[in-house]
Amino acid sequence: MSKDSSDSISRARKFIKNILTQTIDNPNNPDSLNFFQADTYRFYFLMSFMWEYLEGNEISQEYAISLVPKKYASRIKRLQVLKQAVKLGYINETSSTIDKRRRIYKPTDSLLDDFFTYTDNVSMQLKAS
């Protein structure tokens, strides 16, 4: 193995350890992050949902369930995860001011706090590596 390969392997190992330490191996993970890290679809959904929210985009039900490609989950599964996150208090659901039938979704303050703590910790660990 070349020196470059050895450095790449070392960086990859640190990266993997950091992600695992901050996610599934973290005994202090809040319930909200445990929910979204329970499977690949939920994690992908959380990242996509938070990206859209932080970009300032309005997230309707159809938009929310379209954030993750269909190959990762059926429409029913995507809708169930969204509704379950609402029921658990991780995502707020409100009626649109323009069309009362249309639902708009935003992360709750507690999910935002948990998510920012998570991203801050991952960022600090990456800088320290």
Q: If you average pLDDT over residues 120-124, what whole number do you get?
A: 81
Q: Which two tokens stand for residue 110?
A: 């507690």
Residue type for 17, please?
K
Q: In whole angstroms, what is the distance from residue 66 CA to residue 118 CA?
A: 24
Helix (H) or strand (E) holding 92: strand 91-95
> CA 107, 48, 63, 68: dihedral to nearest 10 degrees?
-130
Neighbours of 121 (CB within 10 A): 15
Full-model pTM: 0.84
User: Which domains occur in the chain, in start order?
Assistant: 3-128 (1.10.10.10)
Tell me which residue of 106, 116, 111, 118 sits closest to 52, measured CA to CA: 106
**Which tops the pLDDT comparison, 128 or 48?**
48
16: phi > 0 → left, psi -120 to 50 → alpha, else beta; which?
A: alpha
Per the CB < 8 A criterion, the answer to whether 70 and 62 are in contact is no
Q: How confident is the model over 24-37, as pLDDT tens digits?
A: 777 888 999 999 99
Cα Dmax for the chain: 62
Q: How confident is the model over 53-67, as pLDDT tens digits?
A: 999 999 999 999 999
Task: Report the chain's terminal Cα–Cα distance, integer Å.
Answer: 22
